[in-house]
Chains A and B, each alone.
Chain A
Amino acid sequence: MLPRTLLATGLRDLLRRPLHTALLVLGVALGVAVVVAIDLAGDSARRAFVRSTDAVIGRATHAVHGGPSGVPVAVYRDLRRRPEVSAAAPVVEATAFSESLGRTSVRVLGIDPIAESPFRDHLGGGSLRAPGFSRLFTEPAGCVISAAAARRHGLALGGPLRLRVDDRALELRVLGLIEASPDRAAALEALVLLDVGVAQSLLGLGDRLTRVDLILASDADPSGLAATLPPGLRLAPASEQAQTAVQLTEAFHLNLGALSLLALVVGMFLIYNTITFSVVQRRTVFGTLRLLGATPGQVFGLILAEAALASAVGTLAGEVLGYALGQGAVRLVTRTINDLYFVLAVGDVPMTAAVALRGALLGMGAGLLAALPPALEASRVEPVAALRPSTYEGRARVLLPRIATVGLALALCGAAGLGVSDGVTAAFASLFAIVLGTALAVPLLTATLSGWAAAPLGRVAGSLGRIAARTVERSVSRTGVAVAALMTAVSVTVGVSLMIASFRATVVNWLELTIRADLYVGAPSGGGVRATPAIDPALPARLRALPGVADLETIRRVRVASGVGEIALGASELGATGGGLYRFAPGSEPDPWARVQAGSIIVSEPFAHRHRLAAGARLEIHTDRGPVVFPVAGVFYDYSTEEGQVLMARAVYERHFDDRAVSSIAVHAASGTDLAGLAARVREAAAGRALFVTDNRSLKREALRIFDRTFAVTDALRLLAVAVAFVGVWSALMALHAERTRELATLQALGLTPGLLRKLGLLESGLMGALAGLLSLPLGALLAWILVDVINVRSFGWTMELHYEPWLFVQALALSLAASLLATVYPLWRLGRREIAAALRHE
């Protein structure tokens, strides 16, 4: 237990140095804020997903799924009559793009209002007594949406709602509004409800349903029921859909979380720096306390108590800031999820106890951990030594090699860890160990390198240069930490930028290879890669007949069940280009495309990675004729989906599935054809259908735009890390100058003009910035390698060409120089205003 007077000393000290305390709080706050923001965004996205899945699945225990052509209503009719089925409901589900609902993707859900109540509560159970109910059945295009969505987008009861589903442009009429409690409202916002019959009619589904939801009797035997289904249909537990999607985003969330932790690590440097500074400044105080009888334990406790108090305030501030940042982060995260995975509407981002607790634990933990070394240091010092200001630096100098050795060992352990485990979490742990280990070695490097720099700097800038270099060397306990913080932030920036640049370069190459046709025709789903829009199967033939069309390629994208869960399947019909469209990974069978024509399938690289498949493996796919096992002929490079996909030849697809639609068409123009004229003819042939016709340049541009958008979160995180590092450097320089008040005043008294003093300050920080920048380059390159060749491969399975963009290295150097020079501005300005006499008296 600490004596009260001692605690009061600490508390008064925090209050007496508002700037110092503010920095301490800021370090914790920024780190916590970033972690909380990302955590909150991920958490909200996950909860929104669960809610929207619940909204669609409801209380169903099982569902009968069909292939791409769905489930015939006759099967639904028969299921209703089976004794093991307690309740059954027909469902038509489609992804639509809605201009009326904020130009976003929405889910169209066709349900039978009179079969619904055991499953879903959207129609409010008893409130169906509401007059007007029958219009849901009888209006040709009536729909029900959430009242919140209607308010947000200015839609009125009875008013129109425009949607595009597949290649159809629909105008619905809002017949009903659902007023739901806030926690359910978000899930309903991206939902448009229709009567199932109306939905079938509008979407041209004939007698087909997307699925049949079931509640099985508790004693029913699902496998017995499954065995009675016609071939091509499948009984699955209702939870399956949710599980598939959760697994899909696991790697994404893990990567995001790890990046946000980096911000906290950088924040820890800041805390360490600030507390060390406060310890150094108060050595005499601690010495006096010890002389007055305080035990080492009490001094240790005092510093930790100060750190705990500051961390608590910082954590609190961080939680608030993180909550605010989270509102923005969630949009970035949702955007990415929508692009990469599935349609998701995140309505609100409420702070949850779990997120707040994680933030608090990290904030307090990081604060106390960072305060530990200086606290230990202060408590160990002998009372007499503590009264001599220079001892700390002396001891630090002694400790530097030891710390560096520990760091080196840590980094080596990290590197070894890469080889030992092949998990993603382990890879991130290794990455952290390497970054932290390297950072620990930075103070020694700073001291050594700035010592070496004294002579060259002296030649360039005279004695000021030498003084600057020696100052950085001598105050290494401070400057070393600042350089380490900056180096860490910049190297992470370099690593992440290199990773993104490499990824982008790889994607650009791949787009060049795959987008070779002149025009592309598709349906604007806006629903991310999971949407599988269908185009009128008669269109390819009409296009083929147009003058100027040399060749066509089509692809049909569907989602089907397989031995490894629901998968994305493409049925590809290539023209004269043949299999040249695809590039195959090593290990694929010779001429895989020929084998595909003969009935094999090929899988994309992420798919092979996710499901641990290679050429020669077999994959069971549920076709309309029942489960069929396909041999895998090869693994092809594909960067279009993180989930991965399977490709088969169109002819093979048509043998196994009844579906005849296509999802997009690539048109090769005959040489010499005017493309604008051809595009006009294609548009005319597709008249009446909501299709886009685009040239290959625009398509590539669009693909890259989505790519860049996907990395918006990563970019934001990178910027935040730099911001934290900047504050770190700033605080280190503030500390440095504050500590050197007397020294600088002496220099000034000896005749150094304020201009020269500023020059000195700039030289010092310039040297620190340069050191941090130089040291960050090799580490950044190493991080990029780990991100690209280890973490990316383990998380997503993509092969990327690591591309060391020289410009990024130059940028990194400039960034660290600019950060440290910018950070000097305020301390130097303050310095200039100091009264020499006052500063000297201070001592």
Chain B
Amino acid sequence: MKRTLVAAAMLALTLAAVRPRPAAPVDDSARLDLGGPDDVSGFARATEPRPLRLPEDHGPHFEYQTEWWYYTGNLAAGDGRAFAYQFTVFRRGLSPGDPPAEPGLRTNQVYFAHLALTDEQGQRHVFAERWGRGAADLAGAAAEPYRVHVDHWQAHGNAGGGVRIDARHEGFGLALELEPRKPPVLHGDRGLSPKSDEPGNASYYVSLTRLATRGRVVLGGHEFEVTGESWFDHEWSTSALGPEAEGWDWFSLQLDDGRELMFFRIRRRDGGFEPASGGTLVERDGTTRRLGADELRIEVGDHWTSPRTGARYPAAWELHLQSPALRLRLEPIVADQEMRTSIVYWEGAVRVSGTAGESPVQGRGFVELSGYHAPMQGLF
């Protein structure tokens, strides 16, 4: 769900502020007046649970405004050197329905992708962003064969029924094969994940919470053979955040006892949290348990202030789940995993340690923190 919000925000933001090259000076003497708001009527809204149809549902849902395909993962090279990655493709429908079938660049779909690589040993985090229009194969999404891409950054179905990610930027890149280890998880009510008490303020949210991953990462001219585990989220919706929402914290954790935990909470400007916050606990066998907002207690232990943007983010957490009993300590593997892209947010890998009942438990995960640099509210 988390990303729901991120993406919704970013997309609503319409992608636009888009400054792929920070080096390019923007002349502020030109101001564009577009007169009125976008017309968002006509898009379908997520109101009822719907049966999951695969493989079609891995592809785009043009009747909804916003959609994204989110890959994150923790990896290790042969010598134990730890890496983490994020590769996401976002889709924004500018009008409801399929893009026009014209030979040129005419389209009603805009895509953008984020790519990030974290190097724990080198304490480095590198990232990049690409934008593309959904025309002429510049950027797009398809179910069969599965492929989401912006330019040459892509995730596509491989021969073994898994997914291959190829994304290369100046100085870093990924070439990974992902193999699902568990069946798809439907969050919320059979995949319908509400964002607020308002009906329709919800998304369809499907995850593959554990994918065995192997391949190569490239960083600073060196190539590393890596193995590890990835997490995949696919979410689509047409919705808006309420005026009281400021941002959100989102967690996806893979524990070494074979379970996974997803949890998000929407922060309000008054310091409280949206009651529709919640999560999912995935058992070893893939069965799931929906978690309500009040079932998980989160204590923030530390903060980190970005020297680049001045944003102050939480930087350590204690998670307490009553039943089943779970106490987890989360620590970022690199403090600065801030994504200074069109929208500034923090998305990074964390190390997990704690107890499950009485037994010790370890793990890896990803945390996403939005709205700390500038409130998300107003961008929707």
The residues of A with any CB-CB pair to B shorter than 8 Å are 59, 73-74, 76-77, 80-81, 83, 86-87, 90, 112-115, 117-119, 121-138, 144, 147, 157-158, 175-181, 184, 188, 195-198, 200-201, 205-209, 215, 217
Contacts and interface: CB of A to CB of B under 8 A. Distances in A.
Contacts of A125: 17, 19, 26-28, 30
Interface in B27-47: 27-39
A176 B34 contact: yes
5 contacts: A117-B19, A126-B19, A128-B14, A184-B27, A207-B104
B16 A128 contact: yes
Contacts of B36: 131-132
B136 interface: yes
Contacts of B19: 117-118, 125-126
B151 interface: yes
B21 A86 contact: yes
B30 A137 contact: no
Contacts of B38: 131-135
Which are the 10 A-B pairs with shortest beta-carbon distances? A132-B34, A125-B26, A197-B106, A200-B104, A128-B16, A181-B29, A134-B94, A121-B27, A197-B105, A207-B103
B108 interface: yes
Given A131-B34, A133-B34, 13 more contacts: A74-B136, A114-B133, A118-B24, A123-B30, A126-B28, A127-B32, A129-B17, A137-B110, A175-B35, A176-B32, A188-B30, A200-B105, A200-B106
Interface of B: 13-21, 24, 26-39, 92, 94-95, 102-108, 110, 112, 131-133, 135-138, 151-152, 170, 379
Chain B at the A interface: mostly helix, strand, loop or mixed? loop
Contact of B33 (A90, A114, A130): A130
Contacts of A133: 14, 16, 34, 38
B136 A207 contact: yes
A136 B92 CA distance: 14
A175 B16 CA distance: 16
Contacts of A113: 16
Given A132-B34, A144-B32, A197 B133 contact: yes
A121 B25 CA distance: 9
B35 A176 contact: yes
B152 A59 contact: no
B133 A112 contact: yes
Contacts of B138: 73, 76-77, 80
Nearest to B169: A83
Contact of A137 (B20, B35, B108, B112): B108
Contact of A179 (B30, B102, B106): B30
A197 B104 CA distance: 6
Contacts of B170: 83, 217
A127 B35 contact: no
A80 B21 contact: no
Contacts of B30: 121-125, 127, 178-181, 184, 188
B344 to A, nearest CB: 13
Contacts of B108: 137-138
B37 A132 contact: yes
A85 to B, nearest CB: 10
A184 B33 contact: no
A181 B30 CA distance: 7
A209 B229 CA distance: 43
Nearest to A193: B32
A485 to B, nearest CB: 50
Given A124-B31, A129-B14, A130-B34, A117 B104 contact: no
A113 B105 CA distance: 12
Contact of A201 (B28, B106, B136): B106
Contacts of B14: 128-129, 133-134
Contacts, number: 183
A59 B26 CA distance: 11
Given A59-B24, A144-B32, A128 B105 contact: no
A630 B18 CA distance: 47
A123 B32 contact: yes
A50 to B, nearest CB: 16
> Looking at B14, B95, B108, which has the most chain A CB atoms within 10 Å of its CB?
B14
B17 A196 contact: no
B65 to A, nearest CB: 10
Nearest to B168: A83
Given A59-B24, A177-B33, A114 B18 contact: yes
A121 B94 CA distance: 22
Contacts of B21: 86-87, 117-118, 215
A544 to B, nearest CB: 30
Contact of A197 (B20, B31, B37, B107): B107
Contact of A118 (B20, B32, B33, B34): B20
A137 B131 CA distance: 15
Nearest to A205: B104
Given A114-B15, A121-B26, A127 B31 contact: yes
Contacts of B33: 130, 147, 157, 176-179
Contacts of A114: 15-16, 18, 110, 112, 131-133
B77 to A, nearest CB: 24
A309 to B, nearest CB: 43
Contacts of B13: 129
A138 B99 CA distance: 10
> Looking at A76, A114, A200, which has the most chain B CB atoms within 10 Å of its CB?
A114
A87 B20 contact: yes
A118 B15 CA distance: 15
> Looking at A113, A129, A196, which has the most chain B CB atoms within 10 Å of its CB?
A129
Contact of A126 (B17, B20, B34, B135): B17
A260 B24 CA distance: 42
A129 B380 CA distance: 10
A177 B106 contact: no
Contacts of A132: 34-38
A288 B28 CA distance: 69
Contacts of A144: 32
Contacts of A157: 33, 35
Contacts of A129: 13-14, 16-17, 379
A200 B20 CA distance: 25
A127 B28 CA distance: 9
Nearest to A132: B34
Contacts of B135: 73, 197
Contacts of B26: 117, 121, 124-126
A188 B107 CA distance: 26
A184 B16 contact: no
Contacts of A59: 24
Contacts of A201: 102, 104, 106
A178 B29 CA distance: 10
Nearest to A157: B35
Contacts of A200: 102, 104-106
B361 to A, nearest CB: 43
A226 B151 CA distance: 20
Given A73-B136, A114-B110, A138-B95, A178 B20 contact: no
B133 A158 contact: no
Contacts of B110: 114, 137
A824 to B, nearest CB: 58
